């Protein structure tokens, strides 16, 4: 096997598995903070139960995120030494900031939240919950800033031996690309968090237990879910697409399965790309919509893949399907959250079992949509590791061959399988025990 392929498989596998947990961390942190804060201020035992319950779910999630996050910080060095040498002086900066600003904040205050007292949360723990939330979002910001720089390099200069040097840290951290990508990523995680809260609430209502808290979970999850589903599409998704249109047009063409440059380009709702013959099979089109979304004009010219040399194409199928999965699911989330919100406003949601079923069953899909979104971003970036500057194949480690990487892939798969099983077991156990039990077990 080619070395770069083995390295890409390992990175893709470890990052995609890892990312399952930051979705939950970033998305659930505000709910943990909210419930803990309320519980510390009021003397309502139900709120204290909710705070304890979500803190437990959060902490299992956080632990899995920490352990799977450790290899990420070092894989740039182990498998991507060529890339690290050239780009390290720039992207090492946000990574170092993540460690020193975000990770300490999260881990030290999570310690307070978990070990700082049992029973009703204290004010100190409420503050700790807010700081943990801030830390998890900051961590996400620094990681997105790192990725955004690989997508859209700014604030650097060429130094000796082709090595890049930092020229402006503000440009790297606060580029338009980084800020809007972060807004979209965070929205995606918050949407997942809201759907989890609503979904678990719906489960309790359907199962006929924990009904008081179940209703509260459904209510807050539905309202938050609707808001984030809307923000995921507009403005954050829209601006991200506009940035891709402007700076990575070949990625846009692959996302849309547009092989030929077209005026008044239609948007393919479904269809299967046939890369060998350069066409989209069995498509359903909305005329002019792609031109409108890209340029705000139904007749605008949109460049197709054939306008670019084949060597600059990203893998078309993966980019196309990942994008359509993300957008399609996003639309479904909006619809379900809209129906649930309407039922909530009409006061019918707690009795309309079919809506509760929908809310419960949709729970895993925001994970799929988040992962698909990252797949579009990263696979669509190929063949570049630093867009327009360095190719992925040049970024590997010269002293590590594919045999070694395959061996470590096997190791990671084994360890992550174990971790995944344990994670699911523990989370399902907490859900099965329920919020009332969570507090009772703590008090004992």
Partner 1 sequence: MRPDVQATVAFVVIAFMLTAYVLLDGYDLGVAAISPLIARSDAERAATMASIGPFWNGNEVWLIAAGGALFALFPAAYAAAFSGFYLPFMVVLWLLMFRGIAMELRGHLDSDLWHQFWDTAFWLSSALLIVLFGVALGNLVRGVPLDLFGYFQGTFGFLLNPYALLIAVFGLAALAQHGAAFAVMRIDGAPALRAARLMRGLWWVVLALYLGASAATFATRGAPAGVWPYVVPIASLAALIGLRAALARGLGFATFAASAAFLISLLAEAAGTLYPYLLPSFPAGHGGISIQDAAPSPLGLTVALTVTIAGSIAVLVYGSAVWRRMAGKVRVE
Tell me which residues touch partner 1 (CB under 8 A): 59-60, 63, 66-71, 73-74, 76-79, 81-82, 84-89, 91-93, 95-101, 103-105, 107-112, 114-116, 124, 159, 163, 165-169, 397-400, 404, 407-408, 411, 415, 418-419, 422, 426, 429
Judged by CB, which is closer to partner 1: 67, or 289?
67
Judged by CB, which is closer to partner 1: 115, or 234?
115
Residue 97 CB, nearest approach to partner 1 (Å): 5
Parallel/antiparallel/unpaired status of strands 164-166 and 156-158? antiparallel
**Distance from the first to the final alpha carbon of the chain:** 56
Judged by CB, which is closer to partner 1: 56, or 152?
56
Judged by CB, which is closer to partner 1: 81, or 227?
81
Residue 240 CB, nearest approach to partner 1 (Å): 26
Judged by CB, which is closer to partner 1: 317, or 404?
404
Helix 402-443 to helix 45-78 angle, to the nearest 10 degrees? Answer: 170
Residue 34 CB, nearest approach to partner 1 (Å): 22
What is the rounded distance in angstroms from the CA atom of residue 280 to the CA atom of residue 293? Answer: 19
Judged by CB, which is closer to partner 1: 138, or 242?
138
Going by the DSSP 8-state scheme, the letter that residue 80 receives in this structure is -
Judged by CB, which is closer to partner 1: 12, or 66?
66
| Burial of residue 163, with CB atoms counted within 10 A of its CB: 0-12 exposed, 13-18 middle, 19 or more buried | middle
What is the rounded distance in angstroms from the CA atom of residue 1 to the CA atom of residue 403? Answer: 8
Please name every residue paired with 274 in a beta bridge, in sequence order, or none if there are none. 279
Q: How far is CA 370 from CA 17, 27, 109, 189, in A?
A: 12, 12, 27, 7
Judged by CB, which is closer to partner 1: 103, or 217?
103
Residue 149 CB, nearest approach to partner 1 (Å): 13
Residue 7 CB, nearest approach to partner 1 (Å): 11
Contacts 24+ apart (CB under 8 A), 158-162: 159/89, 162/86
Residue 432 CB, nearest approach to partner 1 (Å): 13
What is the rounded distance in angstroms from the CA atom of residue 194 to the CA atom of residue 227? Answer: 10
Residue 108 CB, nearest approach to partner 1 (Å): 5
**Which residue, among 228, 229, 220, has the nearest Cα to 344 in the 3D structure?**
220
Q: Which residues contact 141 (CB under 8 A, 6 or more apart)?
A: 102, 182
- The Cβ of residue 335 has, within 10 Å, a number of other Cβ atoms equal to 12
Return the SS3 of 154.
coil
Judged by CB, which is closer to partner 1: 165, or 331?
165
What is the rounded distance in angstroms from the CA atom of residue 359 to the CA atom of residue 219? Answer: 11
Judged by CB, which is closer to partner 1: 82, or 435?
82
Parallel/antiparallel/unpaired status of strands 279-286 and 262-263? unpaired
Residue 344 CB, nearest approach to partner 1 (Å): 34
Residue 52 CB, nearest approach to partner 1 (Å): 15
- The Cβ of residue 317 has, within 10 Å, a number of other Cβ atoms equal to 15
Contacts 24+ apart (CB under 8 A), 267-274: 267/293, 268/324, 270/324, 273/316, 273/317, 273/320
Return the SS3 of 158.
strand
Residue 86 CB, nearest approach to partner 1 (Å): 8
């Amino acid at each position: 096997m080619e070395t770069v392929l083995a390295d890409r498989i390992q990175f893709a596998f470890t990052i995609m598995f890892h990312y399952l947990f930051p979705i939950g961390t970033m998305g659930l942190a505000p709910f943990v903070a909210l419930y803990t804060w309320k519980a510390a201020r009021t003397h309502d035992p139900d709120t204290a139960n909710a705070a304890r319950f979500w803190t437990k779910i959060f902490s299992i999630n956080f632990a899995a995120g920490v352990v799977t996050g450790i290899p990420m910080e070092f894989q740039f060095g182990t498998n991507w030494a060529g890339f690290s040498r050239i780009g390290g002086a720039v992207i090492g900066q946000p990574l170092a900031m993540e460690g020193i600003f975000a990770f300490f904040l999260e881990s030290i205050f999570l310690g307070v939240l978990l070990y700082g007292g049992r029973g009703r949360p204290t004010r100190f723990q409420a503050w700790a919950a807010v700081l943990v939330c801030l830390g998890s979002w900051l961590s996400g910001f620094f990681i997105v800033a790192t990725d955004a720089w690989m997508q859209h390099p700014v604030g650097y200069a060429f130094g000796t031996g082709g090595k890049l040097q930092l020229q402006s840290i503000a440009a790297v951290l606060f580029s338009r690309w980084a800020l809007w990508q972060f807004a979209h990523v965070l929205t995606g995680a918050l949407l997942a968090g809201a759907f989890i809260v609503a979904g678990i609430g719906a489960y309790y209502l359907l199962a006929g237990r924990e009904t008081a808290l179940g209703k509260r979970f459904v209510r807050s999850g539905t309202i938050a879910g609707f808001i984030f589903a809307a923000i995921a599409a507009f403005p954050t998704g829209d601006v991200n697409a506009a940035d891709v249109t402007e700076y990575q047009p070949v990625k846009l063409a692959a996302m849309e399965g547009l092989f030929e440059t077209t005026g008044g380009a239609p948007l393919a709702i479904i269809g299967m790309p046939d890369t060998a013959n350069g066409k989209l099979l069995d498509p359903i089109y909305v005329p002019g919509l792609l031109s409108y979304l890209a340029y705000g004009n139904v007749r605008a010219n949109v460049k197709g893949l054939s306008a670019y040399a084949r060597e600059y194409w990203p893998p078309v199928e993966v980019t196309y399907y990942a994008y359509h999965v993300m957008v399609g699911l996003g639309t479904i989330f909006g619809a379900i959250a809209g129906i649930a919100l309407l039922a909530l406003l009409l006061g019918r949601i707690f009795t309309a079992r079919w809506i509760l079923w929908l809310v419960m069953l949709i729970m895993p899909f925001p994970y799929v949509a988040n992962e698909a979104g990252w797949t579009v971003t990263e696979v669509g970036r190929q063949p570049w590791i630093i867009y327009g500057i360095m190719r992925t194949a040049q970024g590997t480690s010269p002293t590590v061959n594919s045999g070694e990487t395959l061996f470590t892939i096997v190791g990671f798969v084994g360890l992550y399988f174990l971790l995944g099983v344990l994670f699911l077991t523990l989370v399902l156990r907490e859900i099965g025990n329920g919020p009332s039990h969570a507090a009772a077990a703590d008090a004992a």
